[in-house]
Amino acid sequence: MTQLDGVVKPKTKRSKRFLESRAPKLTEDVKTAMIMKGGNASQTVTQALRDIYSLKKPNAVLYKKKNITRPFEDSTSLEFFSKKTDCSLFLFGSHNKKRPNNLIFGRLFDFHVLDMIELGVEKYVSLSDIKTSKCPEGTKPMLVFAGEAFDTDNEHKRLKSLLIDFFRGPTVSAVRLAGLEHVLHFTALDGKIYMRSYRCLLKKSGCRTPRIELEEIGPSFDLVLRRTHLASDDLYKLAHRRPKALKARKKKNISHNAFGTKFGRVHMQKQDLTKLQTRKMKGLRKRRGEMVAEDQEAQAPKVVKVES
């Protein structure tokens, strides 16, 4: 479809709108995720996929049927699906003897796989196992990453970026303070990654900022890193390239000094200094006779006009 984008001429307004919604944009929409399971998926994996779908809900597509494909061996079918549903994130769950309870997080750039990271589920508690009140659907979560592995290890770094991309939700300009309810906490520890989801209770602390209490709501995962497929450096760089139109242009003639004071150049008309009012003093007061003479001088052309 991308090759023919220039050639396909929409015949109706509706199809035109549709093609426009799919076309690349300067500021992009929220990334949507497709969540699917492989040929064999255990109860845990199916439940996990469903729970992650409910976390991601308005921006996700849950595939109901099995898709017999192995993303690490052949990603063409994933690319096909992403084109169909215009999704650029995917989560693939499968289960087999060699890799039990397998989740593959991945993202695509220009309908081609950029990163894929395979995670094994060691322990899993679902959303419905914990009987507490949950967060409303579509809440923008607060993301917290802990552990030095996320800062040092290359694969963990990429995983962090992928998880931020996956769970961050829409970019918003403002947020309601009381609506900051959901916390997703990722901890890299002991070669494992602990993902926990908490509801955040804002308690009174006596000052403006509230005290936080957390209550686990699930789903919670203990994950181990398995295979990874990371994009090459130049492709990764290409995917990060910001279009020129989005870059902030430098404003001319405005500067700041070391203290952050703003300086600008102001253009003014030349001031007429002849009409400047200086200090009034008795001694400098014009006399009657002089004033008349001055007036005549100033309005000479007018006088001439009257005479003629």
Partner 1 sequence: MAACSVEELLVRAAQDEAEKLKSISVQKELELHFDIGNLLACDTNRVEVRDFREQKKEDFLRSLARDNTQLLINEIWKRPTERLEEAIVTKLPEPITALPREKPAPKPRAPTKWEEFAKLKGIQKKKKTNLVWDETAKDWKRRWGYKRAGDDTKEWLIEVPETADPHEDQFAKRSKAKTERVAKNEFNRLKNIARAQKVKLPGVGLTPTPQQSKEDLARAASVARTSTASAGRFQDRLPKEKPLKNTGKKRKFEPLIGNFSTEKQKQLELLKLMDGKRPKLNVTKAVNKQMREEDREEAAAKYKKRAGKKGRKGSMPGKAKGKTAKGGKSGGKAVVGGKRRGKTGKR
- The binding site for partner 1 (CB under 8 A) comprises 6-7, 23-26, 28-29, 31, 88, 107-111, 114, 140-148, 150-151, 160-161, 164-165, 168, 171-178, 180, 183, 185, 187, 189-190, 194, 196, 198, 200, 202, 205-214, 216, 236, 238-243
**Closest to partner 1 by CB, 242 or 270:** 242
Burial of 168 (0-12, 13-18, 19+ CB in 10 A): middle
Cβ at position 110, least distance to partner 1 in Å: 5
Cβ at position 69, least distance to partner 1 in Å: 22
**Closest to partner 1 by CB, 41 or 121:** 121
**Closest to partner 1 by CB, 50 or 140:** 140
Cβ at position 193, least distance to partner 1 in Å: 12
**Closest to partner 1 by CB, 213 or 294:** 213
Cβ at position 160, least distance to partner 1 in Å: 8
Cβ at position 202, least distance to partner 1 in Å: 8
| Tokens at 168, concatenated | 């961050």
Handedness of CA 107, 110, 113, 114 (dihedral sign): negative
Report the phi/psi class of residue 285: left, alpha or beta, with left for phi > 0 and alpha for psi in -120 to 50.
beta
Distance CA 229, CA 113 (A): 9
Interior angle at CA 149, CA 143 and CA 151, nearest 5:
70
Distance CA 56, CA 135 (A): 12
- Residue 95's closest CA among 55, 49, 62? 49
**Closest to partner 1 by CB, 38 or 218:** 218
Say how many C-beta atoms besides its own lie within 10 A of residue 35's C-beta: 21
